[in-house]
Amino acid sequence: MARCLLETRIFTGLVAGILLGFQYGSYSQEPSPSLKEADADYRSGVVALSRNDLNGAREEFAKVVRLAPTAEQGHSALGAVLVRLGHTNEGIRELEKALAIKANDSSAQLNLAMAFEQSGQPAKAIPWFTKLDAAARIEKHPLPAEVLAAYARSLAASHQFASAVGKMREALTESPQNARLHDELGSIYAQQQDWPNAQEAFRAAVQADPNFAMAHLHLALTLQAEQQPGALQEFTKAYQLGPQNAVIALEFGQFLATSGNDEQAIPILRHALELNPRNPTAAYQLGLALQRTNKVDEAISLLQSAATAETNDAGILTNLGMALCQAQRAKEAVPLLQKAVSLTPGNPTAHQNLAAAYIQLNQLDDAVSQLQEALKLSPDSPQLHYNLGLAFKMQDNTADAIPEFEAAEKLGPAAPEPPYALGLLYLQAGRYEDAARELNASLKLRPENGNGWATLGSVYNNLGKLPEAVSALQEAIRQLPEQPDPHLTLAAVLVKENQTAEATAERKKAAELMRANMNHERAEVACHSGNSLLKEGKWDDAIVEFRNALSYDPDYADAHAGLAESLQREGKLVEAAAERQRAQTLAKKP
């Protein structure tokens, strides 16, 4: 009987259940030399597959296709191998050729379905999975769990979530202890934001495999979404199990940062960026954490890297612009913030940020214009009214500033800033009763404002409400013990109350504080000079300046530290140690 033997080979991945062999027309007809050669090449391909030599198998199956182009087995085998080698589009074409020759080739159908799913073409995969599933039901044997999982993924990618859940549960029936299938089921629920079912599935995955790092991560993200306790522990466990997983590191770092733990987040985010240096999200998130912790120069570098990768991301441009403003580089920030506005013209915050940069450049007209645009978009924002009031105030435009502060106070009655600003403006305008009312309102909301109490004391003095003035000024002195001005104002009030001795004592205290403040300023200048000389290696001259600083202010810790360093350089180790100890003692004082 002139017929080649039939063989069945199963191999992992996409190549599943290829049926080998050829039909030569009639059994009495001797096969042609080319068909015999094709059959031999086919068998060589199978041998190569048994050694996991995919490139060798591809060469042999390519020969088969060339020698026997109408034999579907060659196209099916070559297509499966090409897909497994990563040449997905070429493999799909060969599998489609096989099915055009023999439409019921289940191996080609399966490999084609898997290829479409893995290449992100779920709409094309689903019809083939459906055929395979229907055939399996007729034959009363279930599809393998891995195939059902791929079917479920395709359905989920097409937003057919109910069907996807059903197929993934069928896969779990076939393999109930498979942690990855439980994890995939949880991911389908998570796509629907069905957090309770997602949490149950991820917990099942962790129970099935306690060392499954990604399942711990997914459980952590679910707990975070539900705002339930335990997320930190799961993130930590995921990171411990997968320390070299860039996705886990990034998610863990982001969680810490959004929880307000930037200092803890920074090393984790650094590690995420080391693991994937080209990931703009890692650079961006690390830059934000550094920006929030005032490490602005390093933050700018990272945000610039993120902006280069994502040139039209308004959020990145905005944060980079604001970081540049923090570094007093508003001129560089303006073009970035202008682009952010152009990308999101309906975002009032974008206009507000650009206004902040204009204010830093003293372009107040431009700042006012941007804040007015922002208010058109968000007319009930107390912060925007307050910011516009500040811009008008900086222009000495009191007439326009006051209505904006009044609107801010009305819209945000819990904020102490608008009534405080109004109080100052009313004071400048001589509207003392209005000033007292607003300052009192502000101080009720924020009583720890020494300057506010001092200003209120001055207002009460102008109103002739002397007991109230004394009370306010005494509170100012309590909060600002080093400031001479409240003592001087209090002295003036006490004179009006005929308390001459008490007034004299307040003036004397003010004079002492003014001398102390002046001496401290002199000490700062001398210390700065000493530090400059120290950097230049002029030890003797530096010592003179540091000693001058201490003659003005004996308790100036920085001067003691600078003197210690200078003495150390001159080899005067004992004196240096004494000065260093003094600096450390003073630095610990509140």
Q: Is residue 72 situated within a structural domain?
A: yes
| Residues in CB range of 167: below 8 A, 6 or more apart | 148, 149, 151, 152, 155
In angstroms, the first-to-last Cα distance of the chain is: 103
Which is more confidently placed, 243 or 565?
243
Q: Kindly report each contact of residues 51-58 with a partner whose C-beta sits within 8 Å and lies 24 or more positions away, as own/partner.
A: 54/81, 54/84, 54/85, 55/85, 57/81, 58/82, 58/85
Q: Is residue 34 situated within a structural domain?
A: yes
Q: Is residue 237 situated within a structural domain?
A: no
Q: For residues 60 and 50, what is the distance between their CA atoms, to the nearest angstrom?
A: 13
Q: Look up the domain containing 90 and give its range.
A: 1-119
Q: Is residue 71 situated within a structural domain?
A: yes
Q: For residues 486 and 2, what is the distance between their CA atoms, to the nearest angstrom?
A: 115
Q: For residues 141 and 136, what is the distance between their CA atoms, to the nearest angstrom?
A: 5
Residue type, 518: M
Structural domain total, the chain: 2
Check pLDDT > 90 for residue 570: no
Q: For residues 229 and 223, what is the distance between their CA atoms, to the nearest angstrom?
A: 7
Q: Is residue 232 situated within a structural domain?
A: no
Enumerate the β-bridge partners of residue 20: 7
Domain boundary among 90, 119, 148: 119
Check pLDDT > 60 for residue 13: no
Q: pLDDT tens digit string along 30-80?
A: 667 888 888 899 999 999 988 999 999 999 999 999 999 998 999 999 999
Q: Is residue 182 situated within a structural domain?
A: no
Q: pLDDT tens digit string along 524-540?
A: 898 999 999 988 888 88
Q: For residues 413 and 106, what is the distance between their CA atoms, to the nearest angstrom?
A: 72
Predicted local confidence at residue 590, as pLDDT:
62
**What CATH number does residue 569 fall under?**
1.25.40.10
| Residues in CB range of 413: below 8 A, 6 or more apart | none
Predicted local confidence at residue 1, as pLDDT:
24
H or E stretch at 532:
helix 500-535
Q: Is residue 115 situated within a structural domain?
A: yes
Q: pLDDT tens digit string along 274-307?
A: 999 999 999 999 999 999 998 999 999 999 999 9
Q: For residues 554 and 571, what is the distance between their CA atoms, to the nearest angstrom?
A: 23
Check pLDDT > 60 for residue 10: no
Q: For residues 265 and 278, what is the distance between their CA atoms, to the nearest angstrom?
A: 19
Q: For residues 272 and 255, what is the distance between their CA atoms, to the nearest angstrom?
A: 13
Predicted local confidence at residue 11, as pLDDT:
32
CA angle, 416 then 412 then 389, to 5°: 75
Predicted local confidence at residue 299, as pLDDT:
94
Tokens of residue 577, six digits: 């140690």
Buried b / exposed e along 497-530 (16+ C-beta atoms within 10 A): eebeeebeebbebbeebeeeeebbeebbebbebb
Choose the weakest-confidence range: 16-30, 194-208, 437-451, 535-549. 16-30
Predicted local confidence at residue 354, as pLDDT:
94
Q: Is residue 343 situated within a structural domain?
A: no
Predicted local confidence at residue 582, as pLDDT:
84
The Cα-based distances of 565 to 327, 359, 528, 569, 578 in angstroms read 30, 41, 14, 6, 11
Residues 359, 389 contacting (CB under 8 angstroms): no
Percentages helix, strand, coil for the chain (3-state, rounded to 5) are 75, 0, 25
Q: At what angle do helices 213-226 and 231-241 cross, to 10 degrees?
A: 160
pTM: 0.70
Mean pLDDT for the chain overall: 90
Residues 453, 476 contacting (CB under 8 angstroms): yes
Domain boundary among 87, 102, 119: 119
Predicted local confidence at residue 30, as pLDDT:
61
Q: For residues 318 and 351, what is the distance between their CA atoms, to the nearest angstrom?
A: 10
Tokens of residue 193, six digits: 């934001």
Burial of residue 444 (number of CB atoms within 10 Å: 0-12, 13-18, 19+): exposed
Predicted local confidence at residue 554, as pLDDT:
86
Enumerate the β-bridge partners of residue 18: 9
Predicted local confidence at residue 414, as pLDDT:
95
Domain boundary among 66, 84, 119: 119
H or E stretch at 49:
helix 33-50
Taken as a whole, the chain contains a residue count of 590
